[in-house]
Amino acid sequence: MQRNERFDSADRIVKIGFWINAVLMIFKLAAGYWGHSEAVFADGIESACDFVAIFSTMVALKLGRKPFDEKHPYGHGRAESLSALLVSMVILGTGAWILYNSIHSVIDRKFQSPQMIAVVAAFLTILIKEWLYRFTQKTGTLLASPSLLAIAKDHRKDAITSISTLAGVTGAWFGFGILDPLAAGITAFFILHIGYQTFRDAAHDLMDGSAPPDFIAEVTRLAESVERVEHVHDIRGRRTGQYMVIDLKLEMDPSMTVKESHDIATRVKKLIFDGFPNVGDVMIHINPHDEEHEDLIRL
């Protein structure tokens, strides 16, 4: 998949989620307010917070597609990880806010009597958000996009939230008023957990965390399959937005000419690009095979 196609796909998924989330937000806020449900109204506030997260992702995708320049020689892909970090902060803040309000409602014993519209809102949210999760997760995995995967987790979080919201508002509708704020409180713990996971993944990428072992193993296999490459060692990978950047060292016959070794390295790079559409760059260093050599590094 070409660079522009990748970003166009990501843009399309984000915009679909953005507008569907807008309709759900208005519906849940109205249903929670006029339907007298604390859990459903909190769900609507949560969707309002999602607006900040999705909007920031739209901005990040626009920044991330910009090519490298003098000030950013490695491109602008990290904007996506920064966006995912912001998404995690919004999720964590929302979870803390809902938990705080639900605890106070239980302590103060201020229970409301929800209407049927609140029950319907919770049920529809489960169906729509689960569909959005699967839709976004599929594309996010295909593109290896941290911001899309963060939004997918946020959709799944909303679906989980609405399951407990539905249970609570239905119980309260049948006369068990305490179930409504209890459902909101239980939901808060799911939200906090997903927020932590999103924060951890974004921080891992921003700190140049290592690439998955199976990815490194497959890249190594591809490189060593090229004729006259004796061995691959000291291979590393890190993520920058939707792309992986790889550093590796090839051991080859020390009697080769510069041109020969360069041509082989080019074949290795092309093979990796063909095998992994999400690889943005491969930096190759060549060492003599079966000879003592020193690799200088300060990290």
Tell me the pLDDT tens digit for each residue of 187-198. Answer: 778 778 878 888
What is the edge-to-edge ordering of all strands in the sheet holding 279-288? 231-240, 243-252, 279-288
For the CA atoms of 131, 135, 137, 142, the dihedral, rounded to the nearest 10 degrees, stands at 160
Using alpha carbons only, what angle is made at residue 29 by residues 107 and 58, rounded to the nearest 5 degrees? 115
Nearest to 114 by CA among 166, 159, 189, 162: 166
The model's pLDDT over 117-138, given as tens digits with 9 standing for 90+, comes to 888 888 888 898 899 899 888 8
Which CATH number fits the domain that encloses residue 235? 3.30.70.1350
The pLDDT value recorded for residue 283 is 92
Claim to verify: residue 114 and residue 260 sit in the same structural domain:
no
Claim to verify: residue 145 and residue 175 sit in the same structural domain:
yes
Claim to verify: residue 133 and residue 156 sit in the same structural domain:
yes
Q: What is the 3-state secondary structure (H, E, C) of 23-79?
A: HHHHHHHHHHHHCCCHHHHHHHHHHHHHHHHHHHHHHHHHHHCCCCCCCCCCCCCHH
Claim to verify: residue 162 and residue 276 sit in the same structural domain:
no
Could you tell me if residue 122 is inside a domain? Answer: yes
Claim to verify: residue 187 and residue 49 sit in the same structural domain:
yes
The pLDDT value recorded for residue 169 is 84
Average pLDDT over residues 88-97: 85
Claim to verify: residue 53 and residue 176 sit in the same structural domain:
yes
Could you tell me if residue 298 is inside a domain? Answer: no
Count of domains observed in the chain: 2
Claim to verify: residue 189 and residue 218 sit in the same structural domain:
no
The pLDDT value recorded for residue 82 is 80
The model's pLDDT over 135-179, given as tens digits with 9 standing for 90+, comes to 888 888 877 777 678 778 878 878 887 887 888 888 888 888 788
Q: Which of 152, 179, 206 is the last residue of a domain?
A: 206
DSSP-assigned beta bridge partners for residue 236: 247
DSSP 8-state assignment for residue 211: P
* Neighbour-count burial of 150, counting CB atoms closer than 10 A to its CB (0-12 exposed, 13-18 middle, 19+ buried): buried
Q: Which of 181, 206, 231 is the last residue of a domain?
A: 206
**47-61, 123-137, 194-208 — which one is most confidently predicted on average?**
123-137
- Residues with Cβ within 8 Å of residue 45, at least 6 apart in sequence: 29, 94, 97, 98
CB burial of 129-146 (b: ≥16 within 10 Å; e: otherwise) equals bbebbebbbebbeebbbb
Average pLDDT over residues 82-100: 83
- Residues with Cβ within 8 Å of residue 135, at least 6 apart in sequence: 13, 16
Could you tell me if residue 294 is inside a domain? Answer: no
Confidence label for 273 from pLDDT (cuts 50, 70 and 90):
very high
Which CATH number fits the domain that encloses residue 180? 1.20.1510.10
Mean pLDDT of the chain: 81
The pLDDT value recorded for residue 3 is 55
Could you tell me if residue 297 is inside a domain? Answer: no
Q: Does 9 have pLDDT greater than 80?
A: no
Could you tell me if residue 107 is inside a domain? Answer: yes
Q: Does 1 have pLDDT greater than 60?
A: no
Claim to verify: residue 271 and residue 151 sit in the same structural domain:
no
Claim to verify: residue 41 and residue 166 sit in the same structural domain:
yes
Could you tell me if residue 295 is inside a domain? Answer: no
Could you tell me if residue 296 is inside a domain? Answer: no
Claim to verify: residue 113 and residue 196 sit in the same structural domain:
yes
The pLDDT value recorded for residue 264 is 94
Distance CA(245)–CA(272), nearest Å, equals 11
- Domain span at residue 284 reads 213-288
CA–centroid distance for 269 within its chain:
27
Claim to verify: residue 192 and residue 222 sit in the same structural domain:
no
Claim to verify: residue 138 and residue 245 sit in the same structural domain:
no
For the CA atoms of 244, 249, 253, 254, the dihedral, rounded to the nearest 10 degrees, stands at 130
Q: Which of 169, 191, 206 is the last residue of a domain?
A: 206
Q: Does 65 have pLDDT greater than 70?
A: no
Average pLDDT over residues 95-107: 85
**25-39, 62-76, 195-209, 215-229 — which one is most confidently predicted on average?**
215-229
Confirm if 132 and 162 have CB atoms less than 8 A apart.
no
The pLDDT value recorded for residue 272 is 93
Q: How many CB atoms lie within 10 A of CB 89?
A: 17
Nearest to 251 by CA among 264, 233, 263, 268: 233
Lowest-confidence segment of 41-45, 173-177, 195-199, 276-280 by average pLDDT: 41-45
DSSP 8-state assignment for residue 280: E
Could you tell me if residue 21 is inside a domain? Answer: yes
Average pLDDT over residues 24-31: 86
